[in-house]
């Protein structure tokens, strides 16, 4: 297992978050627009509390969505990478 999958994402404290239903809407200082997350992205956002590793988040996504762990892992890594690049998440 790579070291990257053991990293722990954390929601940036200056991000505004609104949770309408099963989706999350995010706004932050670097983004000029609101970013909406689908239910899977919302689950990732919820678990990005600094205590869960990417591997643990991928396991949970695989269980919730009933997809192979390898698929969930790739999706989680991609989404978290995008959210880090936008400044919505940081590494704990």
Look up tokens 């919302």; give the residue. 42
Residue range 14-42, pLDDT digits in tens: 898 887 777 899 988 777 788 999 999 99
Residue range 38-80, pLDDT digits in tens: 999 999 999 999 999 999 999 999 999 999 999 999 999 999 9
Expressed in angstroms, the distance from the first to the final Cα of the chain is: 19
Residue range 75-88, pLDDT digits in tens: 999 999 999 998 99
Strands (E), 7-54: 9-11, 16-18, 24-27, 35-37
90's enclosing H/E stretch is strand 89-91
Phi and psi at 37, nearest 5°, equal -110, 140
CATH code of the domain occupying 4-91? 3.90.930.60
């Amino acid at each position: 297992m790579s070291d990257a999958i053991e990293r722990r994402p954390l929601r940036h404290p200056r991000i505004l978050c609104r949770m309408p239903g099963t989706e999350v809407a995010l706004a932050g200082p670097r983004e000029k627009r609101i970013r909406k997350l689908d239910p899977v992205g919302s689950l990732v956002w919820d678990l990005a509390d600094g205590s869960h590793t990417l591997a643990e988040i991928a396991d949970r996504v695989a269980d919730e969505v009933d997809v192979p762990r390898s698929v969930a892992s790739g999706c989680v890594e991609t989404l978290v990478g995008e959210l880090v690049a936008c400044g919505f998440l940081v590494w704990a």
